Structure 1
Amino acid sequence: MPMRLGSIVALVLAAGAASAQPERTERTVAKVTSAAGTFSVRPANETAFKVLPAGADLSAGDLLLALPGASLESSDGSVAVKSLADYDNRSPLPILETALVLGGAQKGADLGLTLDRGRVDLTNKKPRGAAVVAVQFADQLWTITLDEPGARVAVELCGRWPSGARFRVADPKGTEKPPAPVASLVLLVLKGSARVTSGDTTVALNAPPGPAVLEWDSVTGGKAQPKKLTALPDWAEPDANLTTVGKNVAAAVEKFRAARAQDGPVAIERFLESKDPAEQRVALVTLGAQDALVELAKSLSAAKTLEEWDFGITVLRHWLGRCAGQDQRLYQTLTTARGLTPAEAKIVMQLLFGFSAAETRAPETYEVLIDYLAHEKPGIRNLSAWHLVRLVPQGKSIPYKPDGTAADAARAQAEWRKLVPAGELPPAPPKK
């Protein structure tokens, strides 16, 4: 997908504000301990991301985007933080990228951080005694005490819109609170023991076998009773026992890291244009992580393969669920930078939100999706095709081109109408 270098530079300079970024201070609180290119940073109240070298000092209040394997240590060396990714989709939460802001530690903590999204592992690096990390996320503050040297805890945070959520444009008067995605967090003790304090409640945990997991979400809150495990789950060490696909993505991430350590904008451009699906994925995740909505939308419009389009939609839906207000930002981008009418932008937003279980059992849902296959806006017809092949697996054999012509779309629409006639539900999948 051709893209001028100037466009890439523009997207890096025009990335939007982080959802949970506090005011910046010049106080150095940590140091990069991983290779050059594993972190990019955007200082608070600025718009430009900068790729960091190995050994860089990290200031409180700056937004850090971390590639898998990126690591840092607090200035006094007491706490190590490492970013990890779920290459093989084994994690309980869909983790694409990690973003955090250092600082904001409460009194008595060795390190404070705000986890915006993703996964971090926290390790006590002290020669003796406990290490304390104050972790903020959503509207929560959890104080995690790593009881002994070597104790390690994984924390995963992700936001998602529930299936069937309805999009609506925010009230300009602000009298009505708009809906928000659901944030979910999982904490797992990987080694040793830890205590987690939230408000007046403290929960003691230890690595399996034993009470090892705490869960929280923004609807039901936290569960004071931890979940017991007899052994660590397979997602605990995501780099272990990778499938072939996982190994390819891991290799692409390392290749991207080395390339952007030399020249970040050129690396994104090159990986977007790559014919390797794993390299395309790394570039698309980077666009989403940096809030480059216009360039992400352009990349989706120019997608040449179903796989590229499919993962691009995954990135966009992931971006939408990051925090409250993301849906309004995307709606404004669609109606301004992408030139959609308000009605068309609302259709796109609802298609990105998806359908409830009840809606997938209604013939009208399939009629509307098949009608949209011939819509003049490629984004609407492509999103409709994206849903159809998930809801009706038999339709995967119907040829569809994300970058096809109106005639291509009309042919696909005719085939879909044969498979799912108006007023009917899709045929039941064949029994195995």
Structure 2
Amino acid sequence: MAGSPENAMVLSSTADEDEKQRESRSKREIISTLPTEKAWKIQGLMYQYQGFWYYSGGAVEGVMWMQKCFKARNEDVLLVSFPKCGTTWLKSLMFSIMNRTRYDFSAHPLLTSSPHELVPFLEFYAEQNIPFPDLDTLSSPQLFHTHIAFTSLPQPVIDSQCRIVYICRNPKDVFVSSFCFISRCHIVVPLEEAFEFNTNLKIPIKLGSSVFTDFVFMAGSLENAMVLSSTTDEDEKQRESRSKREIISTLPTEKGWKIQGLMYQYQGFWYYSGGAVEGVMWMQKCFKARNEDVLLVSFPRCGTTWLKSLMFSIMNRTRYDFSAHPLLTSSPHELVPFLEFYAEQNIPFPDLDTLSSPQLYHTHIALTSLPQPVIDSQCRVVYICRNPKDVFVSIFYSQCRIVYICRNPFPLKRNLSSSVKGYVSVDPSGIIF
């Protein structure tokens, strides 16, 4: 009787439970010896394990479990990210790429499920006592995610040929994102206290300047890692933006009409804001027209909207039926993009190679300020001008309609004087470029 199969199963189950208890007790003993610090109010004690701070003992247990149990296959993909660095966005992107031929858009899992459900967070299984599925039963490749740094990754992962995709972010942005995240939990943490906590390398989860740097550069030492360094991109954008602002700060300025504040003179023409000048600089650096494209160039208030409609209709005269014509439902400014506006409003400009040809664009930039690749190309440039006196009257009434809402009318005489001197958005004296 004692040797019956039923009794054997009971003994086996008991032995497994005893083994789990011993293992759990062993982990807790190790955790009890780790350095600790008081965390932000919501999180209690933090634990330092293998050089990084974790927000709870359970989080450390999750890391220990992954180091012992997880074995990636060569075809699998492991997404590694520092917390608050764009994990959710990258999970969605990676899941979409890896399953781009598997789902129709109308039935795509991302429409109904969180990216965190579709791309499992490995440490979370152990931390929440959720059984991890047997990898041999899963299709290949699989996509997983972890917040573990390179030095703490399981050795089988490092020895395998699995792909590792890594994303990082400007540490200052990470701190702000973490602080706002904690604040949304209705936990009041003084900003000064949180910042001091960050500079002392003890912000939850594993966030601190030198710790962050270790996390980033240790990840970069893995040969088969694809490093998506948003930090580099952000730093480059910040340097470029700073350089533009430095140039703009040296430009001649004049007080514009009341609604516009200061105006800036750049390459002989007046612009209504520093942002407008940045738009011109962006276009000069980045825009390259193709030979088949058409560029509509106009001085403001010279009939731009009318000419956009006319040009769009001509270029698409065989493409649309009248009953379904885009101009019946969309503004000409939506259909014919204003190039400087992309940079001024921080809107990403589409890749020209992905657009059909020819394309129709619009700019208020004068000939002398157009990008050299546009001048050198064979693209068509269509230009419209207007009597300068009519331009002034049109601008004046346009501004008055806006200012009427603000109850702050413009004196006609003062604005005529400013216009004669050229102090109007884009110099009237240069209407004929």
Question: Normalising by structure 1, what TM-score?
Answer: 0.24
Which protein is bigger by CA-based radius of gyration?
2
Task: Say which structure is richer in strand.
Answer: 1
When normalised by structure 2's length, the TM-score is 0.24
Flag the structure with higher helix content: 2
